[in-house]
Structure 1
Amino acid sequence: MSASPTSPSASPSPSIDLDAYFDRIRYTGPREPTLATLNGVVAAHVEQIPFENFDSLLNRPVLLDPASLQRKLIHDRRGGYCFEQNGLLLFVLESLGFHVRPLSARARVGRERHSIPPRTHLFCRVELDGVSWLADAGIGRLSPTAALRLELDTEQPTPHEPRRLIREGSLYYHQARVAGAWTDVCDFTLEEMPLIDCEVASWFTCTHPQSHMKGRLLVARAAPGGRRVTLLDNEFTIREADGTPNKRTLTSRDELLSVLAEHFGLHLDRDIRFHVAALPWMA
């Protein structure tokens, strides 16, 4: 694939407490800017920091500055959506000495190809020894647990689902093979997403009534051994490495809070209240 790397950032790396971050994701591997480090950090991040949208449901602002991201995702042991997950990952990778840039995309998980979702997804492009890699810790139930080489039509293994990148016209598609079939994860053009664009897109994602983050509960985490755990409203699913889903319907506040604590490491206040049609007992 012909794709020229982007220019390095002129701004200094933000102050990131790497020791606290690595403790949060339970990462004890090397810290040199190598592919092994990149893959190790991505896998640990996706397994330990859950994707979740509670702040959107609670009408709380989502802040993207380094201090706020560290406070929420590291010290408060919360999760977040793509702008938080990949925003923090980008700052961490910069602090480790990686050449990394933010890219924009359209999330396509669960969407038909003919639909045009908003360009409200952020992920990372990393340059290593003249090769471009894509890292994405924030696409929910299909966040890849390894970096993907920016190379077309090649099946790439990860600790979870195989991945590939294809191109149709001007668009690149990131796809995952789930239950034997390739499914779209996101589409992108390699266009960068500056902080101001992230702020605008995140505001839409967090607050707009038609945003997919409003009106439904979304929680996801990769688990060891190729398994994944997801929560969509009241449907809790453990998907085995072979793609077999084990589903369970939650019927009470206590059951929901128990699942969040046990399977996602999210310990929420017993009195938390938000409005989701499928969860009337949370209002």
Structure 2
Amino acid sequence: MTDAHFDQSAWLKRIGYSGSIAPTLETLNRLIVAHSHAISYETLDIMLGRPPKLDLASLQSKMITNKRGGYCFEQNMLFRAGLRSLGYRITSLQGRVVRGLAIDAPRPAIHMLLQVELPEGPYLADVGFGNLAPTSALLLAPQVEQETPHELMRFIDVDGELTLQARLNRGWQHIYRVIPYPRYDGEYEITNWYTGTHPETPYQGNIIVAKPGPNGTRITMYNARVTVRDAEGQARKRWLAADSEFRDVLCGEFGLNLSNEDIDRCIAVMKAKGTGDAPHPFFA
């Protein structure tokens, strides 16, 4: 998989970024904010029986040209291509998701993330973790509380794997453990196929969409439940009823370019296979 045919100008236009493109920490932080606010996290193609494709042409076609979102592999591979086109040095990594679980839970490595090599040190960049993706770069060092435009975050060491935590209204919450070894794209292809096709993953039957908002807010959609969480961690929830409300939220609030046919199919799949209003720790 090569970044040779990446359209840098189209990506920057898609995310609404017009600032400095010097490969610095300041630029990186601004790019993370721009990308994460412009391109929503979403897994709807999996509901529609279309396992995500990770080649760069497909990623650009889906998320840039066709103005859709994507999940972790799609988001972070597109973001990686953008960073590399600007001269950043990137190490591709994987993480073990422990959101809602014990911090040392024996979890598979099913999340993609990026390590950006900067003069200030190695930094984590991740625009693909749904409702808790960091909205700034984070120094990969333990026990350092780091401000972001949203949650306060930190890493703690767990047997050689730095565990990302976010400060929410119930205290420090685990997100994922970072595996500190470079990964090949072929490993992402294998994991993407598993998460995109396994019948028991939550993506098969549930509408899952998320994006950060202004003033420290985050908006998440899980089936008919739409949650807006403020900077203090207080959540305001509402439930959708009419099909037209789903269209308004998906296309309006999340900015997804979806046809009425695809939205109708997602609603039908949700009704047939989804878990309804059941809580889910990854997409609360």
Q: Report deviation, 1:181.
A: 0.9
Q: Report deviation, 1:27.
A: 1.0
Matched-pair contact (CA < 8 Å) for 2:45–2:52: yes
1:23 aligns with 2:13: yes
Aligned to 2:67: 77
Unpaired segments of 5 or more residues in structure 1?
1-10
1:251 aligns with 2:241: yes
The equivalent position to 2:24 in structure 1, one of 19, 22, 34, is 34
| Partner SS for 2:14 | helix
Normalized per residue, which structure has more helix? Answer: 2
Aligned to 2:255: 265
Q: Report deviation, 1:106.
A: 1.4
**In the aligned structure 2, how far is the partner of 1:65 from the partner of 1:109?**
28
Aligned to 1:50: 40
Matched-pair contact (CA < 8 Å) for 1:14–1:66: no
**In the aligned structure 2, how far is the partner of 1:218 from the partner of 1:107?**
17
Q: Report deviation, 1:183.
A: 0.7
| Partner SS for 2:204 | coil
Aligned residue pairs, count = 270
| Partner SS for 1:271 | helix
| Partner SS for 1:192 | coil
Q: Report deviation, 1:95.
A: 0.6
**In the aligned structure 2, how far is the partner of 1:87 from the partner of 1:64?**
7
The equivalent position to 2:223 in structure 1, one of 221, 226, 233, is 233
**In the aligned structure 2, how far is the partner of 1:221 from the partner of 1:186?**
18
1:128 aligns with 2:121: no
| Partner SS for 2:181 | strand
| Partner SS for 2:176 | strand
**In the aligned structure 2, how far is the partner of 1:110 from the partner of 1:25?**
31
**In the aligned structure 1, how far is the partner of 2:154 from the partner of 2:275?**
36
1:174 aligns with 2:160: no
1:147 aligns with 2:137: yes
Deviations 1:169-215 (A, max 9, x none): 23220111111511111112212221100000000011011223222
1:201 aligns with 2:212: no
Q: Structure 1's 34 and 183: CA in aligned 2 closer, same or farther, altered over 3 A?
A: same
1:100 aligns with 2:90: yes
Q: Tell me the TM-score normalized by structure 2.
A: 0.90
The equivalent position to 1:164 in structure 2, one of 154, 157, 169, is 154
Larger CA deviation: 109-118 vs 145-154: 109-118
Matched-pair contact (CA < 8 Å) for 1:122–1:193: no
Q: Report deviation, 1:240.
A: 1.4
Question: Which stretches of structure 1, 4 residues or longer, exceed 4 Å deviation after superposition?
Answer: none
Matched-pair contact (CA < 8 Å) for 2:104–2:158: no
Q: Percent identity?
A: 37
Unpaired segments of 5 or more residues in structure 2?
277-284
Q: Report deviation, 1:216.
A: 1.5
What is the Cα-based RMSD across aligned positions, in Å?
Answer: 1.7
Aligned to 1:5: none
Q: Tell me the TM-score normalized by structure 1.
A: 0.91
